[in-house]
Amino acid sequence: MLTRLLSLLDGGQKQSWLKLLKSDLETIAVLFLLALGFATVVAVFTPEPSINLDATRSEQVDS
């Protein structure tokens, strides 16, 4: 990608460079939204620890 960007800069094609930058920003935005969706699904479907585990941990700390 860097060589493509440099060749666009050398050619003086500012319009193409802006299109390339815009497509990169759109790609980053889509990847961010996918990561956010994945994190949301993981947070929703991750089971909460049971109360018994918390009680066992507190008893171990006290002793």
Residues 17-63 pLDDT 10s: 777 778 888 999 999 999 999 999 999 998 887 777 555 565 555 55
Q: Residue 57 and residue 53: Cα distance in Å, rounded?
A: 6
**Number of compact structural domains in the chain:** 1
Residue carrying structure tokens 């802006």:
18
Q: Residue 39 and residue 11: Cα distance in Å, rounded?
A: 42
CA dihedral sign, ordered 19, 20, 24, 25: negative
Range of the domain at 9: 2-62
In this prediction the pTM is: 0.47
